[in-house]
Chains A and B, each alone.
Chain A
Amino acid sequence: MNWFHHRILPILVVVAAIFALWYVGSIGLNARWAYDKAKRAEISLSFSEMVADTWSQEKPKLPAPHQVAAEIWKTTGDMAINGRMFSKRSLIYHGWITLSATVLGFVLGSILGILLAVGIVHNRAMDMSVMPWIIASQTIPIIAIAPMVIVVLNAVGISGLLPKAIISMYLSFFPVVVGMVKGLRSADQMQIDQMRTWFASRPQTFWKLRLPGSMPYLFTSLKVAMAAALVGAIVAELPINQNGGLGARMLVGSYYGQTIQIWSALIAAAVLAACLVALIGVIEAMTLRRMGMKR
């Protein structure tokens, strides 16, 4: 019972508040269209009729939660039951496309980030020269260079998954570099001196002290990187109509004013991000426990 009070209840309260705001918001934003329709049909709406209308429009400005939920069910569970899980109209299909680009970009970005961090920590010249470029790279709006990257790569014959993964990588390597540089430098001067008294080589100091010491920092930055990778994959799907993906789904939705479809893709992306970040959290807990660092 205590557990319920401390952990579940606060979450439920926040979720309930969000839903309440959402429903009120969709009344406010969709009311005008409801009245316009009524005016054209020359009928007058009571308040309850108006509310009912704002929550059931076909192309509302802000769809109500139950409309989005129904759309998500229609394009996931319902299709799965009917054996059309990977149909082109299914959110699972689009989610899978985005997921594969996200994961590939995340893996590439993490490897790049770790390698850069190792270089920066061990080489003063690299510390001075590379770090400013890494920071500068993140000040360029990704939405501006994503189309260029895709067009340029397409021109040299690379298309499909890889261009999207490269944009994911571009966003996700940054938190890994920053976190790992901090993590690899987290060993204090005393521990470095201690290694020196044992006449340890640089690789020994790296593998036995710096790398294990950086693990808590690594996992924190991997979580940020995963979220960034997903954003990168979706942004990469927006500029040109790609063959599917949650970003493409949002784009098509916006072409045809299908707000319910946009919102369901949005929610699917959020759920996907939450699952991926939670997965890293589980791996983190397992790793740190095995290392004896989690009490």
Chain B
Amino acid sequence: MNDTVIKADGLSLTFETNDGPVHALKNISLEIKKGEFVSFIGPSGCGKTTFLRVMADLERPTAGSITINGVTPEAARMARAYGYVFQAAGLYPWRTIGGNIRLPLEIMGYARSEQMQRLQHVLELVDLVGFERKFPWQLSGGMQQRASIARALAFDADILLMDEPFGALDEIVRDHLNEQLLKLWAKTNKTIGFVTHSIPEAVYLSTRIVVMSPRPGRITDVIESSLPAERPLDIRDSPEFLEIAHRVRDGLRAGHAYDD
């Protein structure tokens, strides 16, 4: 049985700009297996978001190959194989929370009764039951981002791609959401690709951490996490945690020394 979900091989992406070509991604090879939680970390400009966008077929690579569930990103997108969570919640102000979460279901043509059933299910997953009739502006930033995660989960794709989803939130809310995200991942057994620039966040969440560096965007280190599946928040004070964080920091520093 083949349990590879995402497979990139020699992937490169070059943007042509007025100042000459920008190598957003250069020769990226990576394999992600089913049920993994993979974080991409690196300074801005390292291509971590671009890599995620290539997986989602929002950008096209200029060289190399990538498959999602064994098919091209475009075919995967057309099969609605992944949910994508953006940096901002991006909820529609004219739709209620329930209406926002149902939006992808409406687009995909689910029957009304099924929409309502799925809505209740994902509201429970992100702990927003009772808020479906509220409008986005009536909710805090953290709740809005949870609603946007619920929206990405609503159509039950096996892959969840998250682009710095908690980047705009304060530390306390972020801790809380990280904890919830881990529980959600354990419950749903989805494959998650998670872009972040926070070392503690990456180490706390991931089964594998991909360290990237800029100019050209490339992978400098891939770290397997030795942390147990069960992770209370105070695991972040344990020696194993600090050791992994240290290695991530070293990887980031090595990437930087290259170009300074």
Task: Check A47 for interface membership: any CB of B closer than 8 A.
Answer: no
Which of A16-24, A106-114, A194-202 lies at the interface? A194-202
A198 CA to B84 CA, complexed, in Å: 9
B residues less than 8 Å from A282 (CB atoms): none
B residues with a Cβ closer than 8 A to A are 56-58, 77-78, 80, 82-84, 86-88, 90, 92-96, 103-104, 106-108, 135, 137, 155
A212 contacts B92, CB within 8 Å?
yes
A292 contacts B77, CB within 8 Å?
no
Q: How far is the CB of A171 from chain B (nearest CB, A)?
A: 30
A193 CA to B50 CA, complexed, in Å: 13
Known: A197-B84, A295-B137. A208 touches B58 (CB 8 A): no
A residues with a Cβ closer than 8 A to B are 188, 190-191, 193-200, 204, 208-209, 212-213, 215, 291-293, 295
Most buried by A among B90, B92, B95, B104: B92
6 pairs of A and B residues whose beta carbons are closest in the complex: A291-B94, A292-B135, A197-B84, A198-B104, A200-B107, A212-B94
B residues less than 8 Å from A209 (CB atoms): 92
Q: How far is the CB of B90 from chain A (nearest CB, A)?
A: 5
A292 CA to B96 CA, complexed, in Å: 8
Known: A212-B94, A292-B96. A198 touches B88 (CB 8 A): no
Q: A199 is contacted by which of B78, B90, B137 (Cβ under 8 Å)? A: B78
A198 contacts B107, CB within 8 Å?
yes
A190 CA to B104 CA, complexed, in Å: 15
A279 CA to B95 CA, complexed, in Å: 25
Q: Is the interface of B mostly helix, strand, loop or mixed?
A: loop
A293 CA to B80 CA, complexed, in Å: 30
A residues less than 8 Å from B107 (CB atoms): 195, 198-200, 204, 208
A199 contacts B92, CB within 8 Å?
no
Q: A197 is contacted by which of B77, B92, B96 (Cβ under 8 Å)? A: B77
A293 contacts B94, CB within 8 Å?
yes
Known: A196-B77, A208-B107. A292 touches B86 (CB 8 A): no
B103 contacts A197, CB within 8 Å?
no
Known: A196-B77, A198-B108. A190 touches B58 (CB 8 A): no
A215 CA to B104 CA, complexed, in Å: 22
Minimal Cβ-Cβ distance residue in B for A215: B94
A293 contacts B77, CB within 8 Å?
no
Q: B90 is contacted by which of A190, A196, A295 (Cβ under 8 Å)? A: A190
Q: B93 is contacted by which of A190, A193, A292 (Cβ under 8 Å)? A: A292
Q: B95 is contacted by which of A194, A198, A292 (Cβ under 8 Å)? A: A292
Minimal Cβ-Cβ distance residue in B for A197: B84
User: Please, could you name 24 A-B residue pairs with CB atoms under 8 Å apart, sorted by A?
Assistant: A188-B90, A190-B87, A190-B88, A190-B90, A191-B90, A193-B86, A194-B86, A194-B90, A197-B58, A197-B82, A197-B84, A198-B103, A198-B108, A198-B155, A199-B107, A200-B107, A208-B103, A212-B94, A215-B94, A291-B94, A292-B93, A292-B94, A292-B96, A293-B93
Q: How far is the CB of A165 from chain B (nearest CB, A)?
A: 32
Q: How far is the CB of B194 from chain A (nearest CB, A)?
A: 16
Q: How far is the CB of A295 from chain B (nearest CB, A)?
A: 6
A193 CA to B77 CA, complexed, in Å: 12
Q: How far is the CB of A218 from chain B (nearest CB, A)?
A: 13
B residues less than 8 Å from A213 (CB atoms): 92, 94
A199 CA to B73 CA, complexed, in Å: 12
Given contacts A191-B92, A200-B107, 11 further A-B contacts (CB under 8 A): A188-B90, A190-B90, A193-B86, A195-B107, A196-B77, A199-B108, A208-B106, A212-B92, A292-B96, A293-B93, A295-B137
Q: B80 is contacted by which of A198, A204, A208 (Cβ under 8 Å)? A: A198
B residues less than 8 Å from A190 (CB atoms): 86-88, 90
A residues less than 8 Å from B103 (CB atoms): 198, 208
A261 CA to B92 CA, complexed, in Å: 52
B residues less than 8 Å from A200 (CB atoms): 107
B residues less than 8 Å from A194 (CB atoms): 84, 86, 90
B residues less than 8 Å from A193 (CB atoms): 58, 84, 86
